[in-house]
Amino acid sequence: MNGDEPGQERHGAAGEPTAVLPETAAQLVELERLQQALTEAEERAKNHWDQYLRAVADLDNVRKRAQRDIEAANRYGLEKFAQELLPVWDSLDLAVQNAGKAADVRTLVQGQEATLQLLSTALKKIGVAPINPQGEPFDPARHEAMLAQESATAEPNSVLQVVQPGYELNGRVLRPARVIVSKA
* pLDDT tens, residue by residue, 37-91: 999 999 999 999 999 999 999 999 999 999 999 988 888 877 888 888 888 888 8
Alpha-carbon distances of 118 from 10, 17, 21, 121, rounded to whole Å: 107, 108, 100, 5
Taken in order 56, 59, 65, 67, the sign of the CA dihedral is negative
- Would you state the pLDDT for residue 14? 60
* pLDDT tens, residue by residue, 89-125: 888 888 888 777 766 778 878 888 988 998 899 888 8
- Would you state the pLDDT for residue 48? 97
On the question of pLDDT at 182 being above 70, the answer is yes
On the question of pLDDT at 5 being above 80, the answer is no
On the question of pLDDT at 3 being above 50, the answer is no
CATH of domain 128-184: 2.30.22.10
The alpha carbon of 145 is separated from its chain's Cα centroid by a whole number of angstroms, namely 35
- Would you state the pLDDT for residue 1? 44
Q: Which residue has the higher pLDDT, 11 or 170?
A: 170
On the question of pLDDT at 172 being above 90, the answer is yes
Q: Can you list the alpha helix ranges (DSSP code H) found in 77-172?
A: 79-98, 105-125
What is the side-by-side strand order in the sheet with 166-169?
Answer: 128-131, 166-169, 172-175
Separation CA 13–CA 115 (nearest Å): 110
Closest CA to 160 of 168, 149, 169: 149
- Would you state the pLDDT for residue 92? 85
Domain chopping of the chain, boundaries: 21-76, 78-126, 128-184
Closest CA to 19 of 29, 9, 11, 27: 9
